[in-house]
Amino acid sequence: MKSKYILTLLFLSSAGFAAAQNAEDALRTAWFTQNGTARVMAIGGAMGSLGGDITANHVNPAGLGLFKTKEIVLTPGFTLNNNQFNYRGTDTSGNRNVFQYGTIGLISGNSKGGYSRYTSSAFAISVNQLANYQNRESFRGTNNMSSFSEQYLEELVRDRADTFAALSNYIFGSSLAFRTFLIDTTSGPGNVVTGYQSLVPISSGTNQFYDAITRGGLHEIALGTAGNVQDKLYVGFSVNLPIVFYSRELTYRETDRTNNPNNYFSFFEYKENFSSSGFGIGAKLGLIYKPVEMWRIGFAFHTPQLIGFKDQIRSSLIANTEAYAGTRSETSDNLNSGKAGTREYNITTPWRVIASISHVFREISDTRQQRAFLTADLEYVNYRSARFSGTNNSSDQLNAYYGLVNETIKELYKGNINARVGGELKFNTVMFRLGGAYYGSPYNDENLQASRVVASGGIGYRNKGVFIDLTYAHTFNHDVRFPYLLADKPNTFAEQKGSIGRVVVSIGFKF
């Protein structure tokens, strides 16, 4: 009962709230696969104990301690999204190909002389795209169980809204539906208003269509430093500055399945333009230890990141209720003096722990003589620890709402383990690499099946201070998408089974 109560409060935004946040927004900054240089991508993203790559600044900064020279790295890439959805028995598919980048930055390593305890130290500044939001998710199907319009009906009934409130207080949703007669009043004796109704003929069913184009990404600037103690213990620390850009152009439409011209419903279409930008701070610290030659053990801890967000939303709705009221349209701009709705708030992301082990064949100081390595990571992410909070200007009502969202996050999500493995075989100046990774579901409900499986491989060339790496990584994506959420009915969702292909190139120079 507790879970149902919390979900009910979460999925219904309070009156006057523009684009109320929900648990899915927190997951966007937490559930993603490892990104980095082409070398790291080729070995499945297993970077926790290996070191010697600039991506360590974003995974385990202790790995910077293996550098004793200076290095600059560039990593452009290309992503191919292949989305496949099944919504209520109907299959749809679509593609969207976009540019993506991996780790870019500069490392400065310095050897220590004399009687210094530290053999060497290093400093790095880098940027990495942790998540790419550029995609298009589109699905359709028939539904005689529920309608998108019912979320507006539930909101007005729950708030016991009078007709004045219905016209003016929900300018990004329910008021649009009420003004276009998609939602209208019900009357009792004496023509007294007794409640609200949706004009969508749910029992005979509608054809539903969902189409969302998303853009942006989660980027991270890292400033890291590490020390090397006698080529046996490496200790590192980095300060991380997450930068988030996200936008969504949503079109949702329902049409009458029966084509009956006398049932007061032909179609409605809701459109929404939503954008979100954020900036924050966090930290990562770790160590790598060599108990014996050829073996490396790594440990890293990622603190929660505090990210401040500012969101904007504009929405519109057009509905054709045939002889009832004809075709009517309304926009939030008309109800909000031409302005977008805005919201400022904070998200605290989940913390992470990474344990790793590597075996290096011919582990000697001259890396040119090393012949191969095998490496593996286990990463624990506590997704249920994500939290929303208001700003100093947030009202008590809004802070209370965030409290309910946080309780729901704890109900919906769980902690889970991600596993990454990879290896490299080296022939003088040429390297061949393979890797794989598994990212478990963040959802607590076993009915919401989700996972990400990565298979990758690549080649590399290193000679005279120049290196070039080429990688292809293929991600098998299994997830769910809810077109809308209701409190008093089972929520329907689309099952996503698509894939993401990534071509990544890294070019670097040692000096």
Pairing of strands 494-510, 466-481: antiparallel
Task: Flag residues of the chain having pLDDT under 70.
Answer: 1-22, 113-116, 363-369
Quote the pLDDT of residue 116: 64
* Environment class of 494 (CB within 10 Å of its CB; exposed 0-12, middle 13-18, buried 19+): buried
Q: Are 418 and 436 in contact (CB under 8 A)?
A: no
Q: Could you report the per-residue pLDDT of 167-221, keeping only the tens digit for each?
A: 999 999 999 999 999 999 998 777 777 889 999 999 999 999 999 999 999 999 9
Cβ neighbours of residue 124 closer than 8 Å, sequence gap 6 or more: 54, 57, 61, 64, 67, 105, 106, 107, 108, 222, 223, 224, 225, 238
d(CA 300, CA 316): 47
Quote the pLDDT of residue 113: 55
Long-range contacts of 66-69 (CB under 8 A, 24+ apart): 66/122, 66/228, 66/234, 66/288, 67/107, 67/108, 67/109, 67/120, 67/122, 67/124, 68/109, 68/110, 68/111, 68/120, 68/122, 68/228, 69/109, 69/510, 69/511
Nearest to 426 by CA among 470, 473, 460, 472: 460
Quote the pLDDT of residue 10: 44
d(CA 270, CA 249): 11
Nearest to 37 by CA among 65, 63, 1: 63
- Dihedral sign computed on CA atoms, order 42, 45, 49, 52: positive
Quote the pLDDT of residue 231: 87
d(CA 242, CA 477): 24
Pairing of strands 183-187, 233-256: unpaired
d(CA 40, CA 159): 52
For 92, how many CA atoms within 13 A lie in the half-sphere containing its CB? 18
Give the Cβ contact number of residue 187 at 10 Å.
11
Q: Are 23 and 405 in contact (CB under 8 A)?
A: yes
* Strand runs labelled E in 362-465: 372-382, 387-390, 415-427, 430-439, 451-463
Pairing of strands 430-439, 327-331: unpaired
Quote the pLDDT of residue 401: 82
Helix axis angle, 396-412 to 2-10, nearest 10°: 130
Cα 136 vs. chain centroid, distance in angstroms? 14
Quote the pLDDT of residue 166: 94
Quote the pLDDT of residue 5: 37
- pTM of the shown model: 0.89
Cα 112 vs. chain centroid, distance in angstroms? 42
Quote the pLDDT of residue 9: 43
Where do the domains of the chain lie?
Answer: 2-348+457-510
Nearest to 442 by CA among 411, 404, 483, 406: 411
